[in-house]
Amino acid sequence: MAASVRADTPGDLQALVWTDRAHAREVLLEQPATCLDPSAATSTVRAGEALFNSPALLGGQAERAGMSCASCHANGRRSQWFRLDGLSAAPGTADVSSSFFAVQRANGRFDPKPIPDLALPGKVSHEPASGELERFVRGLIVEEFSGAEPSVQTLAALAAYVRALRPCPDRVREPRGLAADLRLVEAAIAGAMGLLRQGDRSGAIKLVKGARFRLGLISERMTGREQAKLRRDLLAASRELSVLQEAPVADQLKAWQTRFERKLKPALGKAEPRSLYAPAVVNRWLKAKP
Ligand code: HEC
């Protein structure tokens, strides 16, 4: 089954590339609510979450298209409006044995499956002693998506995140505002520093790339001429990271983070009500689309 990368979206936002057109609004403004197990080791889980959201983890065609684990498993759960021509039947389904991602597991059949919610018990055991989850995730990255072999530390972080996922007791959905994206930038930089401390340079590079990808997602929401300077500043911040990405150094990542928090973060917060993070702006934007 030859899949095309045509995005069925009302606009040209990366955040909507995998979204059923009728549900753009929900996908821009909401996500499934996730409550992480409070007893899990926080820094590892955060690194895992950032890896889960970084297309660089998957490599190849998926990375070029900006796809990460979270494209299908939003907030670790289930992207109910996920849709990609050639990969999905109904929204929320995907054929993960398609030659779109890798020849290795391509089975020549179009057999999309419902995307599972990773916070609920499924086919794959989360029992740490069995190592089944680590093996499954490694298989996904290397065989399903043709990604580079992940390090032991990278796999451990991803598995820790998946194991920590829980439904929230009090809510099903939560807002997907600027705060959610900023949190992922921070998790990526903190995670990169953590992986460097553990000697996982390749994992750290994937996280620096993940932080840059997230900055791009923030930038595309800062629409209009009045936010042009903010977009330039985001681009400059991303360029600084691109230099570090070649040879990440913990101290320099820390210095970047401090600058980001001091300068860009407050400016972004101020702009949020006039950006595509704001429901009223999203409504207007969707109405103006053909
Ligand atoms: C293109 C969409 C897509 C992407 C990207 C994706 N998944 Fe999935 N995932 C699925 C589908 C569909 C299934 C169910 C497959 C099946 O039932 O055979 C699945 C199953 C799983 C399961 C097993 C759930 C169970 O039943 O126990 C885990 C764990 C998982 N994915 C984690 C990940 C991780 C980690 C990544 C990133 C490395 C990832 N997925 C990327 C669509 C996706």
Instruction: Please tell me if the CB atom of residue 89 comes closer than 6 angstroms to any atom of ligand 1.
Output: no
Domain finish residue from 135, 152, 174: 174
164 and 199 fall within a common domain: no
Query: For residue 100, what pLDDT is reported?
Result: 60
Question: Which ligand 1 atom sits nearest the alpha carbon of residue 114?
Answer: 12
Instruction: Please tell me if the CB atom of residue 115 comes closer than 6 angstroms to any atom of ligand 1.
Output: yes
Length of the chain: 290
Distance CA 77, CA 188 (A): 19
Q: How far is the CA of 197 from the centre of ligand 1 (A)?
A: 29
240 and 155 fall within a common domain: no
Instruction: Please tell me if the CB atom of residue 193 comes closer than 6 angstroms to any atom of ligand 1.
Output: no
Distance CA 264, CA 230 (A): 8
Distances (CA, A) of 97 to 2, 54, 103, 149, 280: 12, 21, 9, 18, 39
Q: How far is the CA of 116 from the centre of ligand 1 (A)?
A: 7
Q: Is the residue at 9 inside a domain?
A: no
18 and 136 fall within a common domain: yes
Domain finish residue from 140, 174, 208: 174
Instruction: Please tell me if the CB atom of residue 159 comes closer than 6 angstroms to any atom of ligand 1.
Output: no
Asked whether the beta carbons of 15 and 28 are under 8 A apart, the reply is yes
Asked whether the beta carbons of 64 and 223 are under 8 A apart, the reply is no
Q: How far is the CA of 36 from the centre of ligand 1 (A)?
A: 19
Range of the domain at 264: 178-288
112 and 223 fall within a common domain: no
54 and 144 fall within a common domain: yes
Query: For residue 12, what pLDDT is reported?
Result: 80
Asked whether the beta carbons of 50 and 214 are under 8 A apart, the reply is no
What are the structure tokens assigned to 49, written together?
A: 């979450």
Assign residue 107 the CATH number of its domain. Answer: 1.10.760
Q: Which of 3, 30, 181, 179 is nearest to 99 (CA)?
A: 3
Domain count, the chain: 2
Q: How far is the CA of 83 from the centre of ligand 1 (A)?
A: 15
200 and 249 fall within a common domain: yes
137 and 183 fall within a common domain: no
To test ligand 1's pocket by mutation, which of 115, 117, 130 has the most ligand atoms within 8 angstroms of CB? 115
What is the residue whose two structure tokens read 């889980």? Answer: 45
Q: How far is the CA of 120 from the centre of ligand 1 (A)?
A: 13
Q: Which of 251, 168, 179, 262 is nearest to 218 (CA)?
A: 179
Q: Is the residue at 1 inside a domain?
A: no
Cβ contacts of residue 197 below 8 Å, gap of 6+?
Answer: 250
Residue located nearest, by CA, to atom 34 of ligand 1 = 69
Q: Which of 31, 29, 65, 70 is nearest to 49 (CA)?
A: 70
Asked whether the beta carbons of 72 and 115 are under 8 A apart, the reply is yes
Q: What is the DSSP string of 219-267?
A: HHHS-SGGGHHHHHHHHHHHHHHHHHHHS--HHHHHHHHHHIIIIIHHH
Q: Is the residue at 4 inside a domain?
A: no
| pLDDT tens sequence for the chain (290 residues) | 333 333 333 458 999 998 988 999 999 999 999 999 999 978 999 999 999 999 999 988 889 999 999 999 999 999 999 998 888 889 999 988 765 665 555 666 778 899 999 999 999 999 999 999 999 999 999 988 889 999 999 999 999 999 999 999 999 999 999 999 999 999 999 999 999 999 999 999 999 999 999 999 999 999 988 999 999 999 999 999 999 998 999 999 999 999 999 999 999 999 999 999 999 999 999 998 76
Q: Which residues of 121-135 are buried (b: 16+ CB within 10 A; e: fewer)?
A: eeeeeeeeeeeebbe
46 and 79 fall within a common domain: yes
Query: For residue 88, what pLDDT is reported?
Result: 87
Domain finish residue from 174, 196, 221: 174
226 and 165 fall within a common domain: no
Instruction: Please tell me if the CB atom of residue 66 comes closer than 6 angstroms to any atom of ligand 1.
Output: no
Instruction: Please tell me if the CB atom of residue 84 comes closer than 6 angstroms to any atom of ligand 1.
Output: no
To test ligand 1's pocket by mutation, which of 73, 77, 81 has the most ligand atoms within 8 angstroms of CB? 73
21 and 122 fall within a common domain: yes
Residue located nearest, by CA, to atom 33 of ligand 1 = 69
Distance CA 190, CA 179 (A): 16
Question: Which ligand 1 atom sits nearest the alpha carbon of residue 67?
Answer: 5
Distance CA 101, CA 120 (A): 26
Distance CA 132, CA 126 (A): 7
Q: How far is the CA of 145 from the centre of ligand 1 (A)?
A: 11
131 and 243 fall within a common domain: no
Q: How far is the CA of 31 from the centre of ligand 1 (A)?
A: 17
Q: Is the residue at 5 inside a domain?
A: no
Burial of 289 (0-12, 13-18, 19+ CB in 10 A): exposed
235 and 256 fall within a common domain: yes
Q: Is the residue at 3 inside a domain?
A: no
Query: For residue 41, what pLDDT is reported?
Result: 78
